[in-house]
Structure 1
Amino acid sequence: MVWMVNQQVTRGRRCRIWGVALLCWLFFMLFTPKIPVSYRHHLFADMRNFLGVPNTLNVITNFPFLIVGVLGFVLSLGGGSFFNISLRGEVWGWSLFYGGIASVAFGSAYYHLKPDDNRVMWDTLPMMIAYSSLFSSFILERLGERIGLSCLFSLLVLAVLSTSYARTFNDLRLCMTFQLIPCLAIPIMTFLFPPKYTHSRYWLWTSGVCILAKMEALADMKIYRANNYIISGHSLEHLCSAIAPVLVTVMLMQRSNRFQRLGEIKECP
C-alpha cells in the first residue's frame, strides 16, 4: 500500500522527467554534429597476437561475459527459486539482460578478431540489448510492471534502430547516447523514486562500474603505457564491464521486498 501511495505522488514528477529527457535528446540530435565511424575506432592500443589469435587480450577478456551471462540467464528462468523476482515482466527483463550479456562475449570477440565497419555492429548491438533490459528492469522495479514492459519493448526496438542508423548514416550519436543515458539516469532515479526491494545501493555501484569502464576505454593507450604495456584500457573495459552483471546478480540473490503492492500479481512459479 505504501508503495502504491508513493507511485501516485511521483506520477507527475515522472512525466516531467520523461519530457525533459525527450527535449534533451532532440536538442542533442538537432544541434550537435555527426560522429562518423573512422578507421581510428578500430585501432586499439593492444594489438598483440598470442598463439595465432589476433588482438588476443581484447578477444579473451570477453570470456567473463559468457560465464556471467549464461549463469544469470539460467537463474532468471528459475524466477523466484533463485532470484527475488516477483513479476513475470521481471523474468523477461532479466532473462533478456543476461542473454544480451552472454551474446556480448560472442559478438565482441568476433569483432576484435578483425575490427572493421562490417563487424562492429555485432559488438555494439548485444551490449545495447543488455543496457535496454537492465534499464527497463530498473524502471519496472521503481515505476511498475506496465511502464517497465513498455520501456523494455520500446528500448529493444530503439536499440536495433540506433544500430541500423549508425550503420546506414555513419553516425554514432544515437548509439553513444543510448549507452550513456542508463548510466546517468539510474543514479538520478534511484533517489527520485522509491524502490520496491532492498539492496538498491547495488544499482549505484553498477552505474559507477559502467561509467568507469567507459573511462577506461577512452584512456586505452594511456593505461596501456602506464602499466608498461601489460594490459590496455580497452581490455580493462571488458573486465570492468563484466563486473556490472556480477553486481546485479548479487543484488537479485540478496534483496527482499520492502513494500507490498496493492493487487500484487501472483508470484512466478
Structure 2
Amino acid sequence: MVWMVNQQIARVKRSHIWGGAFLCLLFLMLATPKIPLSSHHHLFADMRNFFGVPNTLNVITIFPFLIVGVIGFVLCFQGSFFNISFQGEIWGWALFYAGIAAVAFGSAYYHLKPDDDRVMWDTLPTMIAFSSLFSGFLVERVGMRIGLSCLIALVSVAFLSMDYARTFNDFRLCMTFQLIPCIAIPGLTLLFPPKYTHSKYWLYAAGVHLVAKFEAVADRKIYRANHYIISGHSLEHLCSAMVPILLTVMLMYRNTKFQRLGDYRDRP
C-alpha cells in the first residue's frame, strides 16, 4: 500500500518538480549578473609550498577523496557491504564513487598550478559526482527509471555547463549545479518517502556540503582566525570529503523499508 501511494504522489508531483527546477534556473540566469572567471579566483589564502609541492595543503587535503572514492567503488560490486536493490542503483553509485576518486586527481592537478585551463579538471568531476548522487537519491525516493533517466540528463547538463562556462566565461551554471544537493535533496525529502532506512544521512550530507561551501567563501577569514595554520579552502576539502563518508555509512547500514510499484516493473 505504501509504494502504491508513493507512486501516485510521484506521478502528480514529477512534472511540478521539473517545471519548478526550470523556472528557478531561468530566474537565476536572468536575475543574477555574469560570473566570469578571473585571476583572482585562483589566488587562495594559503599558497605555501612544503617539500617542493606548490600549494601543499590545498593539494594534500584532496587525498581523502581518493581513498573514499576507490573504497566505495570497490564495495559497490562486492554485494555484501552495501544494501543496493537493483543493478541500476549499483551503476549509479559506482559512478558517484568514480567521480569522487576523479575529484582527487582533477583537483590536485588544478591546485598544483591554478589557472583557467586547469580549473575544468577540478570542476567537472565534482559535477559528475553530484549528477550520480542526485540520481541515486531519485532512485530511492521516486523510482529507478526516473532516477537513471535523470543520471543521463544531469551528466549531459554537467558537460554542457562546463562548455558554456569556457565559451562565455560565465560560471553561473556550474555554481548553480553544485548547489543542487543543498536545495533539492532537503526539499524532495519532504515530498517523497524513503525506500530505505537511515535516510537522514542524506540531510547530514547536504548540511555538510553547505558548510564546506561557507568555508570556501570564508577562505581568508578562516586562515587569519586560526593564525595561518589552515585555510578555509583546505578545510572545505576535508569537510566535503565527509559527504561520501556519510553516504557510505548510510549504504552500509540501511535496510529496505518497502518496494515501489515501479521497482517491481524495473526488476530484470
Q: TM-score range by the shorter chain?
A: over 0.9
| Residues 1-80 of structure 1: pairs in structure 2 closer than 5 A | 1-78=1-78, 80=79
List, as ranges, runs of 4+ consecutive aligned residues in structure 1 with deviation greater than 3 Å.
265-268
Instruction: Write the letter of the residue equivalent to 1:50.
Output: F
Task: Give the CA RMSD over aligned residues.
Answer: 1.4
Instruction: Write the letter of the residue equivalent to 1:85.
Output: I
Asked if the contact 2:215–2:232 (Cα under 8 Å) also holds between the matched residues in 1, the reply is yes
- Paired residues, number: 267
CA drift of 1:32 comes to: 2.3
2:94 paired residue number: 95
Provide the rounded CA distance (Å) in 2 between the counterparts of 1:41 and 1:9: 43
TM-score, normalised to structure 2, is 0.96
Provide the rounded CA distance (Å) in 1 between the counterparts of 2:225 and 2:15: 46
Asked if the contact 1:87–1:265 (Cα under 8 Å) also holds between the matched residues in 2, the reply is no
CA drift of 1:264 comes to: 2.5
CA drift of 1:265 comes to: 6.1
Provide the rounded CA distance (Å) in 2 between the counterparts of 1:10 and 1:194: 10
1:196 paired residue number: 195
Deviations 1:134-191 (A, max 9, x none): 0110011111011001100000011111111111110000000000022111011111
| Residues 232-251 of structure 1: pairs in structure 2 closer than 5 A | 232-251=231-250
Instruction: Write the letter of the residue equivalent to 2:258.
Output: F
For the pair 1:222 / 2:226, whether they are aligned, the reply is: no
Asked if the contact 1:61–1:238 (Cα under 8 Å) also holds between the matched residues in 2, the reply is yes
Provide the rounded CA distance (Å) in 1 between the counterparts of 2:181 and 2:150: 12
TM-score, normalised to structure 1, is 0.96
3-state SS of 2:255 partner = coil
1:171 paired residue number: 170
Moved more, 182-191 or 11-20: 11-20
Distance 1:266 1:152, change over 3 A: closer
CA drift of 1:4 comes to: 2.7
2:132 paired residue number: 133
Provide the rounded CA distance (Å) in 2 between the counterparts of 1:87 and 1:228: 50
CA drift of 1:267 comes to: 7.4
Provide the rounded CA distance (Å) in 2 between the counterparts of 1:115 and 1:180: 22
CA drift of 1:5 comes to: 2.1
Instruction: Write the letter of the residue equivalent to 2:108.
Output: A
Asked if the contact 1:142–1:193 (Cα under 8 Å) also holds between the matched residues in 2, the reply is yes
| Residues 205-220 of structure 1: pairs in structure 2 closer than 5 A | 205-220=204-219
Provide the rounded CA distance (Å) in 1 between the counterparts of 2:216 and 2:59: 15
Distance 1:71 1:267, change over 3 A: farther
Provide the rounded CA distance (Å) in 2 between the counterparts of 1:253 and 1:195: 16
CA drift of 1:233 comes to: 0.1
Provide the rounded CA distance (Å) in 2 between the counterparts of 1:186 and 1:167: 28
2:116 paired residue number: 117
CA drift of 1:92 comes to: 1.1
Name the % identity: 73
Moved more, 156-165 or 245-254: 156-165
Asked if the contact 1:136–1:152 (Cα under 8 Å) also holds between the matched residues in 2, the reply is yes
Deviations 1:49-81 (A, max 9, x none): 000000000000000000000000001122x32
CA drift of 1:89 comes to: 1.3
Gaps of 5+ in 1: none
Asked if the contact 1:3–1:194 (Cα under 8 Å) also holds between the matched residues in 2, the reply is no
Provide the rounded CA distance (Å) in 2 between the counterparts of 1:180 and 1:264: 32
